[in-house]
Structure 1
Amino acid sequence: MNVEKFCGIKIFEWEEWDDIDIGELQFYNVKFLLSSMEKYNEIIGITVTRNLDGKMKIYNDDMKVIWNGYITDIPEVMEELNNRYRKERS
């Protein structure tokens, strides 16, 4: 399994990917590594698209969007980034 990261934070593991558009990647057979996103691991065959600007969508096996937002909308990601900022400021 490969690991997709954002600012060094492990977001999900994936088996296969495609470059579907300029600046957009599509990942297949995804397994989320963050506790707030683990609920999506129960859905078999989820697909994730990720734009280079941080926009991410999660699709179920019928290719219906079940989550849409920025990676920084994930609570653990924002918490880690805030902790890094606080450390730099102190």
Structure 2
Amino acid sequence: YTEIPIHFVGLRPGEKLFEELSYDMDAFDRTTFDSISVEKPVEYDVAKVEEALKHLRTFADGDDDQAVINGIQGLVPEFVPDTANL
């Protein structure tokens, strides 16, 4: 970096971490701009998530990798495990 100094500053207010395409427009709210939509937040029952995490910790302490995978998939249905590394 001898010609122009480069400063890594991280995200600035309003910057996105990532962008995803979605065709489920029911999952979005409109904004005052036609070309901008905001995804509706997903609400979770905190007690159920805490209970699932407690079970996941128990599975992780054991030797059953499949139980851990099933526990993660219960929390994150979109999770696809890389079974090649098991």
Give TM class, smaller chain.
under 0.3
Q: Where is the helix percentage greater, Structure 1 or Structure 2? A: 2
User: Which protein, 1 or 2, shows the higher relative CO under an 8 Å CA cutoff with sep ≥ 6?
Assistant: 1
Instruction: Report which of the two structures shows the higher radius of gyration computed on alpha carbons.
Output: 2
TM-score w.r.t. the length of structure 2 is 0.21
TM-score w.r.t. the length of structure 1 is 0.20
Q: Where is the strand percentage greater, Structure 1 or Structure 2? A: 1
